[in-house]
Amino acid sequence: MNTNIIPLISIMLLICGCISTPDVVTTTQPTGPTTTRLECVMSLCDCKCHPKGTTVEETTGRLCGINCLAEYGVSDCAITDGRCTEITAVTQATTTTQPTGIPNPASEKCVQDGGQLQITSTPEGQGGVCIFPDGSVCDEWDYFRGECSKGDCMKKCLNIGTRSEGWYDCNDKLIHYDNCAIQAIPFCGWSTNASCSTNTDCDAGGCSGQVCQNTTEEPAVTTCEYRDCYNAANYSLECACAEGKCQWA
């Protein structure tokens, strides 16, 4: 047989389907990132919800204590369209969907009984504390279960001078981070209680400005030692004419 005819015959048989070609197996390698479960955490530095591990506290070690519920109306985090979003009083009031969960009874009881609910963020996670007008505090669930009552547990300033300085309850549970050392020490200035008619009659005297007196009085003589508790501005006080007397008010 003419060898030149063999290739031509092979091509014709291939076209007719009489010769099959080997199967080619392809595998598709994943080209995108591995899907992970999104977890959102509220930062008490900016009251924004971020993916877990990306908050200011987690990335810088900074400790913050903004009362997000009281100052910005932000109560919790949600995941919307794959993003971390904040739940606020506005979004809760305007939503038209049916509630998917049961309201937190501990939070409701705290507010109904005159307390202020504050969400705290600690290394163990987030939780709620109930702060009462008399300065006492309770974990919201402890209060709900009757394990803590108004007046039982007064807040206190701990870890002064460290990154963990802030207000704690009687069980040393963090309420919120704060530069509380100044506030924990009472104001130690004093007044002459001299008679006055207007605020301009009164002025701060003494070596450290710790004495509130009438401008017509002889300058108060004091020792020249400065103490933080002399700084009236730290306590939102000023030397003024109150009830007809020069005093800190």
Residues 203-211 have a mean pLDDT of: 91
The span from the CA of 116 to the CA of 167, in Å, is: 15
pLDDT at 23: 40
For 101-143, the pLDDT digits (tens) are 456 888 888 888 888 887 776 555 677 888 888 778 888 888 8
pLDDT at 34: 46
> Dihedral of the CA atoms 141, 147, 151, 153 (nearest 10)?
-80
pLDDT reading at 203 higher than 80: yes
Name the phi and psi angles at 93, rounded to 5: -75, -30
pLDDT reading at 96 higher than 90: no
Q: Which of 4-18, 60-74, 142-156, 209-223 has the highest mean pLDDT?
A: 209-223
Q: Nearest CA to 74 among 55, 57, 89, 96?
A: 89
* CA angle (160 as vertex; 159, 164 as ends), nearest 5: 45
Amino acid type, 221: V
The b-or-e profile of 154-166 (16+ CB within 10 A means b, else e) is ebebbbeeeeebb
The CA distances from residue 240 to 53, 204, 247, in Å, are: 50, 9, 6
pLDDT reading at 33 higher than 60: no
Other beta carbons less than 10 A from residue 30's beta carbon: 7
Give the pLDDT band (50/70/90) at residue 50: confident
The CA distances from residue 193 to 151, 203, 215, 219, in Å, are: 34, 12, 12, 14
For 220-242, the pLDDT digits (tens) are 888 887 777 888 877 778 999 99
Name the phi and psi angles at 4, rounded to 5: -75, -20
* Cβ proximity of 126 and 77 under 8 Å: no
For 12-24, the pLDDT digits (tens) are 544 554 444 434 3
Residues 144-152 have a mean pLDDT of: 85
Other beta carbons less than 10 A from residue 66's beta carbon: 20
Give the pLDDT band (50/70/90) at residue 82: confident
Q: Which residue has the higher pLDDT, 61 or 242?
A: 242
Q: Which residue has the higher pLDDT, 189 or 44?
A: 189
Q: Nearest CA to 76 among 66, 67, 87?
A: 87
**Mean pLDDT for the chain overall:** 75
pLDDT reading at 155 higher than 70: yes
* Cβ proximity of 177 and 164 under 8 Å: yes
Q: Nearest CA to 177 among 228, 130, 119?
A: 119
105 exposure class (CB count in 10 Å sphere: 0-12, 13-18, 19+): exposed
Domain ranges of the chain: 40-92, 105-184, 190-248
DSSP string over 85-137: EEEEHHHHHH--SPPSS---HHHHHHHHTT-EEEEEEETTEEEEEEE-TTSBE
